[in-house]
Amino acid sequence: MAALGEFGLIAEVSAVLGPGPEGLEGPGGSEGPETRQDATGRKGPQILVGIGDDAAVLAAPDGRVVASTDFLLEGRHFRRDWSSAADVGVKAAARSLIDVAAMGAVPTGLLVALAAPGDLPVSWARDLTRGLAAECARAGASVIGGDTARGPSILLAVTVLGDLAGRAPVRRSGAAPGDLVAAAGPLGRAAAGLALLAAGLDEPASLLAAQRRPQPPYDAGPEAADLGATAMIDVSDGLLADLGHIAAASGVLIDLSAGRLVPDEVLLTAARAVAAARRHGRLGRTGRGSPSAPPDTPAQDALRWVLAGGEDHALAATFPPGTALPSRWEVIGEVREGHGTPGVTVDGRAWAGSAGWDHFSAGEAS
């Protein structure tokens, strides 16, 4: 990458993204001020000016733009020995794109700031870009810009833009007592995959894939807004932690039903495999918990993944009582009066386990 330089990398990235629905105009594009008209008829997000100018120009037909920025850091959110470059691209894009969906908006554009060591192979950056572009396409968005720099490890700061298409934004602060609490998308699978990777295991493969390439349910966000969701968030830090943000912002208590959050057989299989690896001393240094504490049982591990595992980027939302929800929205609890600590309970009680996300190597971050 050092030899290629910043301008070379931009050209590489533009070449990978290519023309088409999610395409970009190259640095040498000469459409001039008429691009708006030229682009208006395109399918997909309307990129009026793409990569290669001082800034990109993207259609914002609603008259409002939704925007969010998230880091994805090597060693914290991914490891190069556990994830391919394309995996990292998918994860970086997914992590940001879902933030816009969690407001009830449709993702439209992504800006990617990439810092990387000078010896990063160009092929790695190219595959990263392919992953970013692929996940953008799945969400209906496009990579529209970015920046590159050298750094000691790989770091991405990804900004997503989105369009509300006339909807009111769904905030964290609108939950009211009596509302249903529901979730769309997987819970606990990315955390299970992380535990499997840390234990050196490669089955069940679907859970490893969930950790490497989360597949958030983007269209469930605007769907929830249309259904009248009163509050919404994406599950990035763990279900209890993220619903805790809704509880705090709304001044309510959220009570989950343990019976609605029973880990399925795939998670239990993974938990048993991790427990067996632990008995055989195969747990890597990223295993969780204090070495002196007794290990959780497999059932406890699996439940912890569901309640406290991050990175699935499922959506959690509250809906007025009686809302008829499509099947992918599973009711998991109810909003109650009151506020305080804990803001989220399970069957009326504080959950005894840890509520936060197991970072890859939180103790080692510098």
Tell me which residues in 130-189 interact with a copy of itself (CB under 8 A): 144-152, 155, 157, 159-162, 164, 168-174
**Residue labelled with tokens 């001082």:** 54
CB of 79 to a copy of itself, least distance (A): 16
Structure tokens at 282: 């195969």
Block residue for tokens 């809704």:
246
d(CA 343, CA 183): 17
Closest to a copy of itself by CB, 20 or 27: 27
Please state the closest distance from residue 272 (CB atom) to a copy of itself, in A: 34
Nearest distance from C-beta of residue 188 to a copy of itself, angstroms: 20
Binding test (CB under 8 A) with a copy of itself, winner from 88, 92, 93, 115: 115
- Rank residues 150 and 279 by Cβ distance to a copy of itself and give the closer one: 150
Q: How near is the Cβ of 251 to a copy of itself at its closest, in Å?
A: 7
Give kind and range of the element (H or E) at residue 116.
strand 106-116
Give the residue with the Cβ less far from a copy of itself, 158 or 196: 158
What 203-208 contacts at long range (C-beta under 8 Å, 24+ apart), as own/partner pairs, is 203/273, 204/266, 204/269, 204/270, 206/266, 207/266, 207/267, 207/270
- Near a copy of itself in 11-40, by CB under 8 A: 27-36
Phi, psi (deg, nearest 5) at residue 207: -80, -35
Distance CA 30, CA 76 (A): 41
Q: Kindly state the tokens that stand for 284.
A: 């890597």
Residues between 195 and 234 with contacts to a copy of itself, criterion CB under 8 A: 232-234
Under rule CB under 8 A, which residues in 230-259 are in contact with a copy of itself? 232-234, 245, 248-251
Q: Which residue has the tokens 């955390």?
A: 191
Minimum CB distance to a copy of itself smaller for 122 or for 268: 122
Using CB under 8 A as the binding rule, whether residue 48 contacts a copy of itself is answered as: yes
Minimum Å gap between C-beta 261 and a copy of itself is 22
Instruction: Characterize 135-150 residue by residue with b for buried, 16 or more Cβ atoms within 10 angstroms of its Cβ, and e for exposed.
Output: bbbbbbbbbbbbebee
Q: Which of residues 52-111 bind a copy of itself (CB under 8 A)?
A: 52-71, 73, 76, 99-100, 102-103, 105, 109, 111
Q: Site residues for a copy of itself, window 281-340 (CB under 8 A)?
A: none
User: 168 or 350: whose CB is closer to a copy of itself?
Assistant: 168
- Hunting for tokens 């019976």 — which residue is that? 259
